[in-house]
Amino acid sequence: MKASNDKQGMEARLNQIIQQHSVLQDYVQTQKPNDLWLYDVAAKTEFLSHSFWTLLGYYAHDEDVRKRSPYLFSHYEDTLQSLLAKAKSEPGVFHSEMLLYQNRHGALLPLKCVVFGVSETGTETDYIFGAHLKIDIGVSEETARETSAQDGNTSKGLDLPAANELNQVLRAMNKCFPGAEVFLISPDWEIEFSNTAQSKTFEQQFSRLQNDALVTVQLNFIKAFEGGQAEFELVSGSIHESFHIFPLFASEGYVKSALCIIENVTEQKKHIEALKESEAHLKVATQLAKIGYWELDIASGVFTFNEQFINILGVSPDYFGGLKVPAERYAEEFLLDEDKPMIQEETRMAIETDDPGYSRYVEHRFRHKSGEIRYLAARFFVVRDNDGKVIKTVGANQDITERKQAEQSLKRLIDKTSDQNARLRDFSFIISHNIRSSVANLISLSDLLTEQPDNSQFVRMISDTANNLDQTIKNVNELLNFENDVGGQSRHICYLREVIDRAVNLNKNLIEEKGIDIQIYISANTQVMAFPAYIESVFYNLISNAIKYGVNENSRKIILGQEACEQGVHIYVQDFGDGLDLEKQGEKLFQLGVRMHSGNSGQGLGLFMTKHQIEAMDGKIWVESELNKGTRFNVIFTS
Amino acid sequence: MSSLHHDQSGFLAGLKVLWVDDDAVFLEIAKATLNKIDQDIDVRRALNGQVALQELERACPDIVFLDINMPVLDGWEFLKNLKKARFKISFPICIVSSSIDPIDREHARRFSEIKLFIEKPINYQKLRSALALLVDNSGEEVGVDVNK
């Protein structure tokens, strides 16, 4: 029921109605009600005079826009409504019921409520005239004093005997607290009334209680006898009881007795406990699953997060000054620029959708307060107003960083394995080809030797082929070891000059044989962090390639040098031989099994291995070459 | 058609063969085997496609035996370059490889000059049959294998 905003107008209307209806004038004069009020049927508003608020313990000046509902025991809302309905359907007749209020100070205030339907047209009820009359036993000291001050006397215009009034209060209590134990007890601890047992004294009434509980109850009764009220709970065994103790004042202002209502709330408690427990479980589950809830109000562009969601972001509600966060601020501080267009598009689609069951699942990154980039999975749907317009998006977000990281590491592993498989497949093809070639040669040579056992050329060719086969098998081992080694090594400081000197020394015979001039311009303190076995292999391959393929009749010079480099250490191996046609062969150069020169010495493994070893150390290799001018291999080891 | 007929009539005398393979030992075996079939077969050798093209510029053979996997210029690159060459391709080509991949066979259909595949190892019988087919020019269809 709404309070009237047009208070003065309603008050004037009330006075006018009383003037116009002599039956109401007579009632007011004879019954002297404690307050008068008016209900406007069409507007469904009511005007309650300041006398009513005085009854409830308020002063005249603070009565504004209050409603009666918070003071009326909820069970009596229905009584009031049925009373109004009677007045509406039967105008021109008085109806009355007792309503039980609780005043500002907690004391019980039973009031007789009288209504009278007023019809201005003579047919339908337009206004309801109302009045409250105090019932003697429920007047609090303060209300009594205020009422006296205002009225100049204490109203006693009751038309019911006191015992009936008491019964009405007790009935009212039964109605408000169904199934409860209701009794009255006097300040000398005598039971004046009980709706259950026939106990005479306080001790008898509470014989079931243990000492401690008994003391608690006694203390609270004393509080009531002194004018206060009390509410508390007691547990005896598995029984939970809720106590409400109200003081009942005599007209003179002293406490006549205390009204005690005891409810058995065991079942209720069990439900509450179960609910609390399941809430606690839910909270733990959402915390463990890192699930946060959110709502986005489309009109204002403001998010409402739950605490868990805010925790996922790595902050606390204090950081945002509560649970409400403007979408712009959230995006600015927590979203990544690359993901914003996708999220904006999702929001746009959600606003524009016609689909009644619209629901989306998206994954995106966010910047945790610690600076770490983490992942969120968001599942959301839309909420519409009565016109079907989307007013909110509501969703649950889950931190899926661990899952994402596991997926990524799995993907890396799969990529690495696929890469390794592809290399091994290519390699086994080449190896099988090489073995088959050598075996084919051996078969053919044995045929030829059968016919010409003395042919020494065939014998020499058998020996060459056997050596070739041996080299192939060595390569298989080398590549298998290389595959096993990747990732299983640790880096150490390697002095490149020492490594290069060792590689040159290993090729000493060939260098001398071919009369090669090797010039090295790399200082003794040039160092890199690398896998020692790889770096030895890299320089051995590059140097022996230059010796084998980089010299001709015109040039026997090989230079190893160093260039200034911001990324790390840049070393080059340069020859001035035939050079390569990079347009034709550049792409293939580092592929497995591709040989750049004729003859039996190469099997297409060296540069492939070199490239992979350098890349395994986060370095890079590239080649520069020109036909008839020479070739230069460049390597950068990143620092 | 029977190869023996040709053999008996000495039709292979003076036959010019170019054999392209990067395996020097194998080239020696090939030459020895061909000369066992007929002492007068002229066998020239090339260690890769590039060298073979240079040889072709000098003189046109009657038959070319070609390996696929070779450095510098492999068998397929050689065939592509051959199509661009100035001279007329009047000779049949026989692929000789240690492993014949089905993909290679498919690839070979693009080149009408390829008349035959031979899988290594080679021997007297296999080569003699191949020569009979190639000289007689009856193996027009790609995929006629002589593997025995």
Q: How far apart are CA B43 and CA A409, in angstroms?
A: 58
First to last CA, chain B: 17
The DSSP symbol for A335 reads B
The string of pLDDT tens digits covering residues A510-533 is 899 999 999 999 999 999 998 888
- Amino acid letter, B114: I
* Residue A584 pLDDT: 74
CA distances from A412 to A10, A405, A409, A591 (A): 79, 10, 5, 22
Asked if A460 is an interface residue toward chain B (Cβ–Cβ < 8 A), one would say no
Q: How far apart are CA A358 and CA A360, in angstroms?
A: 7
Q: What is the CATH architecture assignment of A177-270?
A: 2-Layer Sandwich (3.30)
CB contact under 8 A, A461 and B122: no
* Residue A167 pLDDT: 67
- Amino acid letter, B71: P
Asked if B81 is an interface residue toward chain A (Cβ–Cβ < 8 A), one would say no
Percent of chain A with pLDDT over 70: 89
Bridge partner list, A378: A362, A397
What is the maximal distance between C-alpha atoms in chain B? 40
* Residue A122 pLDDT: 75
Q: Which residues contact A256 (CB under 8 A, 6 or more apart)?
A: A137, A186, A248, A249, A250
B123 → chain A, closest CA residue = A444
Look at the domain A293-391 and name its fold. Answer: Beta-Lactamase (3.30.450)
Burial of A192 (0-12, 13-18, 19+ CB in 10 A): middle
Asked if B20 is an interface residue toward chain A (Cβ–Cβ < 8 A), one would say no
The number of C-beta contacts closer than 8 angstroms across A and B is 74
A435 → chain B, closest CA residue = B98
CA distance B30 to chain A (A): 9
CB contact under 8 A, A597 and B69: no
Tokens (6 digits) for A564: 């200034």
Note whether A2-159 and A177-270 share their fold: yes
The closest of B120, B122, B52, B126 to B89, measured between CA atoms, is: B52
In which band, very low, low, confident or very high, does the pLDDT at A3 lie, cut at 50, 70 and 90?
Answer: low
In which band, very low, low, confident or very high, does the pLDDT at B139 lie, cut at 50, 70 and 90?
Answer: very low
Asked if B103 is an interface residue toward chain A (Cβ–Cβ < 8 A), one would say no
In which band, very low, low, confident or very high, does the pLDDT at A176 lie, cut at 50, 70 and 90?
Answer: confident
The closest of B47, B131, B28, B4 to A449, measured between CA atoms, is: B28
Asked if A365 is an interface residue toward chain B (Cβ–Cβ < 8 A), one would say no
Average pLDDT, chain A: 84
* Residue A161 pLDDT: 38
Judged by DSSP in three states, A491 sits in coil
B119 → chain A, closest CA residue = A440
- Amino acid letter, A41: V
Q: What is the CATH architecture assignment of A489-638?
A: 2-Layer Sandwich (3.30)
The string of pLDDT tens digits covering residues A122-146 is 778 899 999 998 875 543 333 333 3
Please answer whether residues A549 and A596 qualify as being in contact, where contact means their C-beta atoms are separated by less than 8 angstroms.
yes
Residue A464 has pLDDT above 70, yes or no: yes
CB contact under 8 A, A600 and B24: yes
Judged by DSSP in three states, A293 sits in strand
Residue B137 has pLDDT above 80, yes or no: no
Neighbours of A282 (CB within 10 A): 11
Residue B2 has pLDDT above 80, yes or no: no
CA distance B44 to chain A (A): 16
Asked if B10 is an interface residue toward chain A (Cβ–Cβ < 8 A), one would say no
Q: Which residues of A200-212 are buried (b: 16+ CB within 10 A; e: fewer)?
A: eebeebbeebeee
Region of poorest pLDDT, from A169-173, A266-270, A412-416: A169-173
Asked if A471 is an interface residue toward chain B (Cβ–Cβ < 8 A), one would say no
Task: Specify the length of chain A in residues.
Answer: 639
Question: Of B47, B98, B123, which has the smallest distance from its Cβ to A598's Cβ?
Answer: B47
CB contact under 8 A, B23 and A439: no
The closest of A65, A54, A166, A37 to A104, measured between CA atoms, is: A54
A457 → chain B, closest CA residue = B28
Q: Which residues contact A145 (CB under 8 A, 6 or more apart)?
A: A253
* Per CATH, domain A2-159 is 3.30.450.20: yes
Judged by DSSP in three states, A374 sits in strand
* Residue A70 pLDDT: 78
Asked if B9 is an interface residue toward chain A (Cβ–Cβ < 8 A), one would say no
* B122 contacts in chain A (CB < 8 Å): 440, 444
Q: How far apart are CA A621 and CA B105, in angstroms?
A: 36
Q: Which residues of A63-101 are buried (b: 16+ CB within 10 A; e: fewer)?
A: beeeebeebbbeebeebbeebbebbbeebeebbebbbbb
Asked if B23 is an interface residue toward chain A (Cβ–Cβ < 8 A), one would say yes
Q: How far apart are CA A192 and CA A179, in angstroms?
A: 19
Q: Where do the domains of chain B lie, and which CATH numbers do they carry?
A: 3-145 (3.40.50.2300)
* A600 contacts in chain B (CB < 8 Å): 22-25
- The domain ranges of chain A are 2-159, 177-270, 293-391, 400-485, 489-638
B24 → chain A, closest CA residue = A599
The answer for A 579-608 residues in CB contact with B (under 8 A) is: 585, 593-600, 602, 604
Q: How far apart are CA A592 and CA A426, in angstroms?
A: 7
The string of pLDDT tens digits covering residues B10-30 is 667 789 999 999 888 999 999
Among A94-108, A247-261, A564-578, A596-610, the range with the most confident prediction by mean pLDDT is A564-578
- Mean pLDDT, rounded, for A541-555: 91
Asked if B78 is an interface residue toward chain A (Cβ–Cβ < 8 A), one would say no
Residue A304 has pLDDT above 80, yes or no: yes
* Residue A379 pLDDT: 92
For residue A535, the number of C-alpha atoms closer than 13 Å in the C-beta half-sphere is 27
